[in-house]
Amino acid sequence: MPQVVLKLPASTLENMKKYYTSSLKNSPPAAIFAAKTPNCTITAYKSGKVLFQGQKPETEAEKWGTVPSTTSGDGKTRKNNRHAFHPDDQLFVSSHIGSDEAGTGDYFGPITVAAAFVTKEQISQLKAIGVKDSKNLSDAQITNLAKDIVAMKIPYSLLRLPNKKYNQWQRKGWSQGKMKTMLHHQALNRLLEKIAPEKPDGILIDQFSEPHVYEKHLRSENQQLQEHVYFMTKAESYSIAVATASIIARSAFVKAMNQMEFDTGLPIPKGASGKVDRAAAAIIEAYGEEKLEELAKVHFATTEKAKKFVK
């Protein structure tokens, strides 16, 4: 039986347990929780290891981390040819495209995906204005940097996935991994058209799934990988192009969250937590349950928790 094993931090395990609240089952000794979904059985252990086992373990596992090679029932490992998709260090100092996304783990707000083309001459300029890993920047810094990037006329493509559409795709059976794949693919195609006839030395995607899974999602929609595409975890720490794309995507996400607060007159917190549960309950009380369709990823466990707060 196919299986996937991920090593995840405690905070992710906590979010997973909340996410699978309605699917929990009796867990074995030393396990934090166990859940059963249509795709597979999930067992999370105190060590941080999570076992996904069943017909489609990758579909569930890619929601939470980078999926390694899967192991079949006979113990043979399926190789994913990772090396072919890993960039050479030379790419980081060349003219290349980077792409990244924001909003995937947040209950509220859209998934935003951005791709940016940075020439080798612009790398030092972007570093000079403070472009770096967006995880080390505040929302205010990201907003200001995004304005500076636009002022530099860095070519980019930005896509936002409204939650109404997200929820429709999710009910259609699309995993979040597939959604992200198709958004990245479209953003890259749009950017390649924008900069044509110029061609980048390579395309680097901040890796959220194994390359073979990414390609599988493309094939399912009759699409093909572009030329010279590479994947790398924590890519924005190495590539200024990916860091630039990350800042653009994050800025668009922050702007969307601020707009939701303005439109509803209610606090719209980021992430997934007890604070978010209570915010969702406030939305239901003020506007009705159907309002969440346009504001939130309603398959998150947050939705059911919020309903319990509503009197």
101 is in an annotated binding site: yes
39/94 same-domain check: no
Distances (CA, A) of 46 to 19, 27, 100, 148, 266: 18, 12, 31, 44, 37
Choice between 1 and 177, residue whose per-residue pLDDT is larger: 177
List the structure tokens of 217.
């999602």
74 is in an annotated binding site: no
93/21 same-domain check: no
Q: How confident is the model at residue 68, as a pLDDT?
A: 62
Alpha carbon of residue 125 to chain centroid: 28
Q: Which residues contact 124 (CB under 8 A, 6 or more apart)?
A: none
122/57 same-domain check: no
What one-character-per-residue DSSP string does the chain give?
A: --EEEEE--HHHHHHHHHHTGGGEEPPPTTEEEEEE-SS-EEEEETTSEEEEESS-HHHHHTTTS-----B-TTSPBPP--GGGGSPPGGGGGSSEEEEEEE-TT-SBS-EEEEEEEE-HHHHHHHHHTT---GGGS-HHHHHHHHHHHHHTT--EEEEEE-HHHHHHHHHTT--HHHHHHHHHHHHHHHHHHHHTT---S-EEEE-SS-HHHHHHHHHHTT--PPTTEEEETTGGGT-HHHHHHHHHHHHHHHHHHHHHHHHHSS---SSSSHHHHHHHHHHHHHH-GGGHHHHB-TTSTHHHHHHHH--
- When pLDDT is averaged across residues 92-108 and rounded to a whole number, the result is 95
The answer to whether residue 163 sits within a structural domain is no
- When pLDDT is averaged across residues 270-284 and rounded to a whole number, the result is 94
Q: b/e map of 235-248 (b: 16 or more CB within 10 Å)?
A: bbebbbbbbbbbbb
Q: Look at residue 67 and tell me whether its pLDDT is greater than 50.
A: yes
- When pLDDT is averaged across residues 247-255 and rounded to a whole number, the result is 96
Range of the domain at 93: 89-100+115-154+170-248
95/34 same-domain check: no
Q: Is the peptide bond preceding residue 197 cis, with omega within 30 degrees of 0?
A: yes
96/221 same-domain check: yes
137/210 same-domain check: yes
**Alpha-carbon gap, residue 294 to 165, rounded angstroms:** 8
The answer to whether residue 55 sits within a structural domain is yes
Whole-prediction pTM: 0.74
**CA nearest to 265, candidates 303, 290, 295, 293:** 295
Distances (CA, A) of 131 to 123, 139, 226: 9, 13, 26
195-233 pLDDT, tens digit per residue, is 999 999 999 999 998 888 999 999 999 999 999 999 998
- When pLDDT is averaged across residues 22-40 and rounded to a whole number, the result is 87
**CA nearest to 298, candidates 175, 171, 182:** 171
pLDDT range class, residue 136, cuts 50, 70, 90? confident
The answer to whether residue 293 sits within a structural domain is no
Q: Look at residue 46 and tell me whether its pLDDT is greater than 90.
A: no
- When pLDDT is averaged across residues 273-280 and rounded to a whole number, the result is 94
> Of 43-47, 113-117, 168-172, where does mean pLDDT reach its minimum?
43-47
Provide the number of structural domains found in the chain. 2
181-192 pLDDT, tens digit per residue, is 999 999 999 999
148 is in an annotated binding site: no
244/95 same-domain check: yes
**Alpha-carbon gap, residue 66 to 71, rounded angstroms:** 15
Instruction: Residue 46: give its domain's CATH number.
Output: 3.30.310.10
The answer to whether residue 110 sits within a structural domain is no
List the structure tokens of 182.
């198709």
